[in-house]
Amino acid sequence: MSFAAGQTAAQTFEALQAYVKKMLHYQEALELIYWDLRTGAPKKSVELRSETIGTLSDELFRMSTSDQLAEYLEILSDPGVFSTLERKWQRTIEELQRELDRSRKIPPERNKAYVMLTSQAESVWEEARAQSNFEMFRPYLEQIVAMNIEFVEYWGYDENKYDTLLDLYEPGMTVAQVDKIFGGLREETVKLVQAIAHSGRRIDETPFVRRYDVAKQRELGIMLLEAMGYDFNAGRLDETVHPFETAINRFDVRVTTKYLPDDVRSNIFSVIHEGGHALYEQGVSTDLIGTPLCGGASMGIHESQSRFWENMIGRTREFWEFNYGKLLKLFPSQLADVSLEDFYRGVNVVQPSLIRIEADEVTYNLHIMIRYEIEKGLINGQLRVADLPGIWRDKMKEYLGVVPGNDAEGVLQDVHWSGGSFGYFPTYALGNIYAAQFRNALQKAIPDYLEHVRRGNLGVIKQWLNDNIHRHGKMLKPAQIVEQVTGEAIDSKYLVAYLKEKFGQLYGV
Amino acid sequence: MSFAAGQTAAQTFEALQAYVKKMLHYQEALELIYWDLRTGAPKKSVELRSETIGTLSDELFRMSTSDQLAEYLEILSDPGVFSTLERKWQRTIEELQRELDRSRKIPPERNKAYVMLTSQAESVWEEARAQSNFEMFRPYLEQIVAMNIEFVEYWGYDENKYDTLLDLYEPGMTVAQVDKIFGGLREETVKLVQAIAHSGRRIDETPFVRRYDVAKQRELGIMLLEAMGYDFNAGRLDETVHPFETAINRFDVRVTTKYLPDDVRSNIFSVIHEGGHALYEQGVSTDLIGTPLCGGASMGIHESQSRFWENMIGRTREFWEFNYGKLLKLFPSQLADVSLEDFYRGVNVVQPSLIRIEADEVTYNLHIMIRYEIEKGLINGQLRVADLPGIWRDKMKEYLGVVPGNDAEGVLQDVHWSGGSFGYFPTYALGNIYAAQFRNALQKAIPDYLEHVRRGNLGVIKQWLNDNIHRHGKMLKPAQIVEQVTGEAIDSKYLVAYLKEKFGQLYGV
């Protein structure tokens, strides 16, 4: 590399850094706007705000697909230059190139058509669900599926068309892998659910139906987040209908929760779940600030963090041995007749149900598998949209033993497909699978970790997650993280073992 | 104008409309970010957020000074084209041209130097105030004054250099006018303050020092805003150290208040004051959406709306005849020994004091006049920064009869000068003067308006303000609004008469 070329490359590298920062600033403004829309922006503000979103996201899209960026990436991808860059900038260039290629492969007019289609479809879906009328939504879903297949053709694929969609949400994941991972899990879970149903043990949930003051529930949420090590100087807690976590910047990771006035459990596990997501974002190495790598590695790895905290810490007996006294102090009369053991059982009820987002730790993955199988079938042309309501009912019956009485509580229940998000659903179950694998690694590293939980010493666990998972951000791919933390590839056997052990004890099966 | 030229003009007009919208979108995003920073953004988020603000405001500044915009304005300012445009677009073009000229007259490197200077000066001022050390702040203030004079030279001026700065905040206002308006007001106010001091009447404020539950104070704030006709579907109420109002878009006009746990009055009058500002923004004609005219006409007219509601409605006996019962319901024990008449007097205490933002309705304007005289003297080279502490003390003694013990509660108390805001202070007093003139017009139009207040029928008043002031937005200049509403030019005699009548009765002078 000549001196002159070197200088050019150095200047290009500097220009790229500034360019990336600017993109991140647009993203930050957009994230704040979305947060605000969900946490209390006035109803009438939305229409004008959408135009502002349009302007900022158009600019962000323009920047992420510009000739300018393509030129930067070309210069910096030259092996002689690339090899001199820090690893994080190499990864940044790879990521930017990946996004650029992906965007540029779609003809702009087709992309526009897709954006319009999904935007219409979301309103139609809302109405169709309200009326429990699948036929109303069907033509839209058919078009969305057709366009997803069309896009896969533009993008290309190796073995299975659905791989390309999976890769959008879980980089590197394939149908071959998911089929294998889900296969064993499905079989064992169905058996476990049936065993629990036949165990005859029923947990009485009536003691939980009491008035729980919202101000005190908020206090409880703050207490739980603080106990987990959530940094309130780099975040805040608000109330929304659907709880969520959002990383507006590296030091602004916000969570929300939902307060049911007559059941304290919803708030508790929303807070712990979103807190788990938030600890991930608050734990990414600050060295990655100013790059697009400063965030979670994938949807699945992100979900592993929320699920780990929610289920594998928050729903343990040890966790409540430490915290139940505090809960009783906040709600002495409401929980007067609920023992620690009752409470522990009450937060671990297993009961097949129709709605995914209300499902328990055991049955949840079965809801996901139904969606995965349908998506895979649709994208590969093996299933027809028109047949979905029937397929849905059959699979619900087969896996969960319950059948929806109408499409609103069946095939129309989730928003994802109306927005075109094919490939997203599997990451929820992958998160649970990763979580169990990480739990196993944690147990090896800190054999008495549950003893720490019992003593309220959650810092040990947070630190282990920070060191082994969080800090990497997007530097590593999901499979690399799993390999590095566990020494193995992704495998659902740890989740199976965990579920069988925990719920075997709880239900005596 | 040929057909071809006409087509070009039409295309340019369309392009300008899109261009202006885009600018407004950037402004909207920035306003939301500022709101968020003041209402609860996490402490650690600020540093990265500032970079985002930098990127968005650089882009907004670039757009407002671009050659592209200059070209649009040139084409559309051609009399043959201009005359065919709707009045609101003519005004828009005038406003954009004014801003463009103003920005382009400052050499970019001088503008940059000024931004850096004021940014440093704000931190230094904060420290200087904490230490009550004027000498620490002096060199910065000297430079800021010098640069303001330099900028006035670039911008140009007619009679008085300070006119050019006044015009930034109160378009069209001049020193000649302000001197005249303030002159009579000062003389009469000083006399009134002295008479009140010699009246021997003292209002006992100890009944107000009680514990006022913050949740109930919030409820009270919502009730008051609703009573004023504030639209909560186009706004929201939050808590901040310094209450403010911000119009993020035409349907998103937010207010904040402050809850003192031991004095309910602070919240009440913050809410009514900011509510007055908010009604203005919520009342601008929706026809002005998408133009830069969709907001208050000037700082002074804006302040007239907040002050009118706060003092001329919120501090009347009639207002509390309707609302005091509701207040008692919220705070029965706290106000058990406070009669309606005690309360009315308790919200109208006149007492010379050192701090502007804590001053009452009568003495407030004197605080402003001191600042106005100092600014005018500095910009015209008749006063030296080094002499300010002494000048401050002398004027406080002369107008208010009280003298600060140190500079922190004297010349260093306000943030404005450290940010370079010369010309801003007078608008506070102009607001009070406008308010009294508008009140007089209201009285002519609806002679029994106070009877409406007494019956809680504030809608009549809001409607009158909507029709006569709010709806115009920035279509009219401040002087045009005053002329149109009152049939007269700005005149402080109405404020003098109002103050003498109200406080003459209250203090028997």
Write the DSSP assignment of A128-175 as a string of letters: HHHHT-HHHHHHHHHHHHHHHHHHHHHH--SS-HHHHHHHHHSTT--H
Cα dihedral sign, B161-B164-B168-B170: positive
Half-sphere exposure of A157 (CA within 13 A, CB side): 22
Cross-chain Cβ contact B42/A251 below 8 Å: yes
What are A335's strand-pairing partners? Answer: none
**pLDDT the model gives residue B3:** 44
pLDDT in tens, B284-315: 999 999 999 999 999 999 999 999 999 999 99
Q: List, as one string, the DSSP characters of B393-444.
A: HHHHHHHHS---SSSTTTTTS-SGGGGT-TT-THHHHHHHHHHHHHHHHHHH
Cα–Cα distance for residue pair A227/A459, rounded to 1 Å: 8
Q: Does B40 touch chain A (CB under 8 A)?
A: yes
Our measurement of the distance from residue B466's CA atom to the centroid of its chain's CA atoms, rounded to an integer in Å, reads 18
**pLDDT the model gives residue B5:** 52
**pLDDT the model gives residue A3:** 44
Which of A 273-332 lie inside 8 A of B, CB atoms?
289
Cα–Cα distance for residue pair A19/B382, rounded to 1 Å: 49
Q: Does B337 touch chain A (CB under 8 A)?
A: no
Cross-chain Cβ contact A26/B248 below 8 Å: no
**pLDDT the model gives residue B202:** 87
Identify which of A461, A486, A508, A466 has the alpha carbon closest to the alpha carbon of residue A227. Answer: A461
Nearest residue of chain A to residue B289 (CA atoms): A48
Which of B105, B139, B171 is the last residue in one of the domains? B105
Cα–Cα distance for residue pair B63/B45, rounded to 1 Å: 27
Report helix angle A161-169 to A175-199, nearest 10.
70
Q: Is the pLDDT of residue A90 over 70?
A: yes
Q: Are B238 and B39 in contact (CB under 8 A)?
A: yes
What is residue A255's three-state secondary structure? strand
Cα–Cα distance for residue pair B46/B122, rounded to 1 Å: 16
Q: Does B68 touch chain A (CB under 8 A)?
A: no
Closest Cα in chain A, distance from residue B305 (Å): 22
Same domain, B92 and B231: no
DSSP one-letter code for A506 = H
What are the Cα distances from residue B426, in Å, to A190, A339, B4, B301?
A: 76, 67, 50, 12
Q: Is the pLDDT of residue B1 over 70?
A: no
Cα dihedral sign, A283-A288-A290-A292: negative
Q: Is the pLDDT of residue B4 over 90?
A: no
Q: For chain B, what percentages of helix, strand and coil (3-state, to nearest 5) are there?
A: 70, 5, 25
Q: Are B421 and B147 in contact (CB under 8 A)?
A: no
Establish if B400 belongs to a structural domain. no
Q: Is the pLDDT of residue B204 over 90?
A: no
Same domain, B316 and B438: yes
Identify which of B463, B438, B435, B460 has the alpha carbon closest to the alpha carbon of residue B450. Answer: B460
Q: Does B55 touch chain A (CB under 8 A)?
A: yes
| % of chain B exceeding 70 in pLDDT | 99
Q: Are B396 and B403 in contact (CB under 8 A)?
A: yes
Strands A252-257 and A237-239: parallel
What are B253's strand-pairing partners? Answer: B247
Same domain, B89 and B217: no
Q: Are B96 and B59 in contact (CB under 8 A)?
A: no
Q: Averaged over A229-252, what is the pLDDT?
A: 97
**Per-residue confidence band for B7, with pLDDT thresholds at 50, 70 and 90:** low
Q: Which residues of A touch B36 (CB under 8 A)?
A: 32, 36
Nearest to B45 among A49, A248, A289 (CB): A248
Cα–Cα distance for residue pair A102/A154, rounded to 1 Å: 9
Identify which of A234, A306, A295, A303 has the alpha carbon closest to the alpha carbon of residue A270. Answer: A306
Q: Are A175 and A163 in contact (CB under 8 A)?
A: yes
Q: Give the full edge-to-edge strand order of the sheet including B252-257.
A: B237-239, B252-257, B245-249
Establish if B131 belongs to a structural domain. no
B353 C-beta neighbours (distance < 10 Å), count: 15
Cα–Cα distance for residue pair A33/A41, rounded to 1 Å: 9
Q: Averaged over B127-148, what is the pLDDT?
A: 97
Q: Does A63 touch chain B (CB under 8 A)?
A: no
How many helices and strands in chain A, by DSSP H and E? 21, 3
Q: Which residues of A touch B215 (CB under 8 A)?
A: 215
Closest Cα in chain B, distance from residue A41 (Å): 8
Backbone torsion region of residue A423, taken as left when φ is above 0, otherwise alpha when ψ lies between -120 and 50, otherwise beta: left
Residue B115: burial class (beta carbons within 10 Å; 0-12, 13-18, 19+): exposed
**Per-residue confidence band for A84, with pLDDT thresholds at 50, 70 and 90:** very high
**pLDDT the model gives residue B208:** 84
Establish if B149 belongs to a structural domain. no
Which of B80, B105, B130 is the last residue in one of the domains? B105
Domain that holds residue B79: 3-105
Whole-number average pLDDT of chain A: 96
Q: Which residue among the candidates B170, B245, B274, B303 is catalytic per the annotation?
A: B274
Residue B124: burial class (beta carbons within 10 Å; 0-12, 13-18, 19+): middle
pLDDT in tens, B66-88: 999 999 999 999 999 999 999 99
Cross-chain Cβ contact A56/B252 below 8 Å: no
Q: Is the pLDDT of residue A2 over 50?
A: no
Same domain, B291 and B431: yes
What is residue B252's three-state secondary structure? strand
Same domain, B83 and B220: no
**pLDDT the model gives residue B327:** 97
Cα–Cα distance for residue pair B167/B13, rounded to 1 Å: 28
Terminus-to-terminus CA distance in chain A, angstroms? 68
Whole-number average pLDDT of chain B: 96
**pLDDT the model gives residue A8:** 87
Same domain, B438 and B309: yes
**pLDDT the model gives residue A7:** 62
Residue corresponding to tokens 């502007």 = B356
Q: List, as one string, the DSSP characters of B152-201.
A: HHHH--SS-HHHHHHHHHSTT--HHHHHHHHHHHHHHHHHHHHHHHHH--
Q: Does A378 touch chain B (CB under 8 A)?
A: no
Establish if B223 belongs to a structural domain. yes
List helix spans (H) across A258-384.
264-282, 299-307, 317-330, 340-346, 364-379
Cα–Cα distance for residue pair A192/A507, rounded to 1 Å: 10
Establish if B450 belongs to a structural domain. yes
**pLDDT the model gives residue B205:** 86
Q: Averaged over A271-280, what is the pLDDT?
A: 98
Closest Cα in chain B, distance from residue A236 (Å): 7
Establish if B455 belongs to a structural domain. yes
Which of B83, B105, B127 is the last residue in one of the domains? B105
Our measurement of the distance from residue B221's CA atom to the centroid of its chain's CA atoms, rounded to an integer in Å, reads 21
Nearest to B29 among A43, A56, A236 (CB): A56
Cross-chain Cβ contact A29/B233 below 8 Å: no
The domain tally of chain B equals: 2
Q: Is the pLDDT of residue B168 over 50?
A: yes
Cα–Cα distance for residue pair B33/A101, rounded to 1 Å: 32
Q: Averaged over A433-457, what is the pLDDT?
A: 98
Please report the ipTM that was assigned to this predicted complex: 0.94
Same domain, B325 and B473: yes
Nearest to A28 among B47, B52, B236 (CB): B52
Nearest to B29 among A52, A252, A289 (CB): A52
**Per-residue confidence band for B6, with pLDDT thresholds at 50, 70 and 90:** low
What is residue A121's three-state secondary structure? helix
Residue corresponding to tokens 């366009």 = A147
| % of chain B exceeding 90 in pLDDT | 95
> CA angle at residue B60 from B59 to B63, to 5 degrees?
85
Cross-chain Cβ contact B28/A22 below 8 Å: no
pLDDT in tens, A147-205: 999 999 999 999 999 999 999 999 999 999 999 999 999 999 999 999 999 998 888 88
Catalytic residues of A: 274
Residue corresponding to tokens 């671990």 = A348
Q: Does A56 touch chain B (CB under 8 A)?
A: yes
Q: Which residues of A touch B291 (CB under 8 A)?
A: none
CATH of the domain at B281: 1.10.1370.30
Q: Are B269 and B452 in contact (CB under 8 A)?
A: no
**Per-residue confidence band for B2, with pLDDT thresholds at 50, 70 and 90:** very low
Establish if B186 belongs to a structural domain. no
pLDDT in tens, A489-499: 999 999 999 99
Cα–Cα distance for residue pair A43/A54, rounded to 1 Å: 18
Establish if B431 belongs to a structural domain. yes
**pLDDT the model gives residue B53:** 94
Cross-chain Cβ contact A42/B289 below 8 Å: no
What are the Cα distances from residue A169, in Å, to A174, A299, B71?
A: 11, 6, 46
**Per-residue confidence band for A206, with pLDDT thresholds at 50, 70 and 90:** confident
Cross-chain Cβ contact B235/A29 below 8 Å: no
